[in-house]
Amino acid sequence: MALLFLNGGGMRGGPLHHQLQGAEPVRVARSAPKYRYFSVGNRFPAMHEVGEGGHSVVGELYDVPLETLLHHLLPAEPAELELGVIELEDGTACLATVLRKSYGGADQLIDISEVGDWRKWSATQGNPQ
């Protein structure tokens, strides 16, 4: 089992939620305030650690079997994301998908750090999740 922070389409009601294979959320959570949060081409969100000057991101924390990560969640993730370790606001470390370090499409990134919530951002774009 692994703690996994979801902040986009994998959350309840999202288009990728079924990839959790029935895993229940542990709780609603926020990341530590040390990330930039982007909309990638207005298709999905991505976190990127910056430390100082970062923001908190809203999401859901799940306890997920590693087999579910391997066979369902990770294969469904966009190529622009990779698995990483993040910190929650309470200091807990957990897995999350983050912007791939080698991502070269800066022109596709819309900074939504001030909003910090994919559902709220999507609703402002006419794309409710």
- 39-71, pLDDT tens digit by residue? 999 999 999 999 889 999 999 999 999 999 999
Q: What is the pLDDT of residues 86-121, one digit of tens each?
A: 999 999 999 999 999 988 888 999 999 999 999 999
Pairing mode of beta strands 44-49, 58-64: unpaired
**pLDDT-derived band of residue 128, with 50, 70 and 90 as boundaries?**
low
Pairing type for strands 109-111 and 35-40 reads antiparallel
pLDDT value, residue 65: 97
**pLDDT digits 0-9 by tens, 4-38:** 999 999 999 999 999 999 998 999 999 999 999 99
The β-bridge relationship of strands 93-99 and 25-30 is unpaired
- CA atoms lying within 13 Å on the CB side of residue 30: 13
| pTM for the structure as a whole | 0.94
SS3 track for the chain: CEEEEECCCCCCCCCCHHHHCCCCEEEEEEECCCEEEEEECCCEEEEEECCCCCECCEEEEEEECHHHHHHHHHHHCCCCEEEEEEEECCCCEEEEEEECCCCCCHHHEEECCCCCCHHHHHHHCCCCC
